[in-house]
Amino acid sequence: MTLRRLGSRAVTSMVAVATLAASGLVHAGAAQADPSVSITPVLTGLGAPRGITFDGRGAMYVSESGVAGAGPFGMTTTGKVSKYKQGSTTPAWTTGFNSLYASEDPSAPPDVLGPEGLSSLGGGCMTNGHGKRHGCQLLMIASESTPGVLAASGGTVNDPQAGHLYRLNGATGAATSTSDVGSQMYQWTGDHASLFEDFPDSNPFGVLVTRGAGHGTRTFVADAGANTISEIMRDGTARVVAYTPNEDFGAFRDSTPTCIAQGPDGFLYVGTLDFVSNLFVPPGTGGLSSVWRVDPNANYPTVPTVWATGLTTITGCTFDRQGNFWAAEMFAGGADATPPGDVVRIPFAHPTTQTHFGAGRLLLPGGIAQGPDDAMYVTVGSAAPGLSGGVMRVAVDH
């Protein structure tokens, strides 16, 4: 089974680097090259942590894709989402999910897929607000799709959770599936197979919940397999807002949208991975990932526009309360970095200006979110094997 579009080539190619770097995860923030930036560990011992978000009361939520089981491919139940009340490093609750694993290279640990993006909205997540549907929105998107996993595994692996959007109860962690996004996008790419040679495919990876008209909310999903940005309607139907074009250069056409953030102008800003072009197309020095500006009210085939370029393997993104765009760059620095990974800040009014803060100090970052203390919190070890992941706090003095 090959779960291609997560970036399994990334894990296969970088796993040796990740394994070595993971042993020093806690110490990655100890040496401060820039005194204006403080990078310190918050959590350790996590299994491929990817999504991270904070609710309106300061509680932190982290998703873990999980750890691999025995053999070259299969499914475990090691995926999870955990809630940490403000100031605590002990979970208030943990909800388990399925985790898929597959290896392209028998000599390397498998790639792992499971719970991915997280998004929250509202301040009512600390209590069980029965009848207050909009008091707290806490959403998680799971990787891949049930039909895609069945096809890739020759019918041997059936994951009914794959590609589903889940609403989590902020007080208890109870999970409710609200949409089978993966199956819908797998069907959509089958119907639009002319767009890309590897279709049908689906791998929902990023999710964003925003305020809509009145007291309602809107939910959007970035699919790293289908290359779509979809709005999830109240009945669970996925409305395709935009298709992110694949790059027309390099050895492998695979832009791979991974995250969504809402800008100060109300538009959606979507980051892309572009893994192979960044690291394996000469000179392999990165700088080939983009941020696309998407009208949330558009419909496919309206083409989104490029807002920022020159980034490297974006896996997570957000806007801070000052209106700056932040992105986690999982493989920034390439194979020679110790370790690979960085975070970048871009002022909304000046998208050609980039400031980097974590080179050499953030191992394979995945997700990024602003905490109640205004610092940025980053999941790290997101593509590292075993329980070598964690969360780092990045505080910038200016």
pLDDT for position 166: 98
pLDDT for position 125: 78
Give the domain 4-370 fold.
Answer: Neuraminidase (2.120.10)
pTM of the model as a whole: 0.93
pLDDT for position 245: 84
pLDDT for position 12: 36
Q: pLDDT in tens for each of the 398 residues of the chain?
A: 333 444 333 433 444 444 444 444 433 333 334 668 999 999 999 999 999 999 999 999 999 999 999 988 999 999 999 999 999 999 999 999 999 999 877 777 889 999 999 999 987 676 665 544 556 899 999 999 999 999 999 999 999 999 999 999 999 999 999 999 999 999 999 999 999 888 999 999 999 999 987 778 999 999 999 999 999 999 999 999 999 987 655 556 678 999 999 999 999 999 999 988 888 888 888 999 999 999 999 999 999 999 999 999 999 999 999 999 999 999 998 867 889 999 999 999 999 999 999 999 999 999 999 999 999 999 999 999 999 999 999 999 87
pLDDT for position 334: 83
pLDDT for position 194: 92
Contact in structure between 50 and 146 (CB atoms under 8 Å): no
pLDDT for position 21: 45
Contact in structure between 122 and 136 (CB atoms under 8 Å): yes
pLDDT for position 135: 65
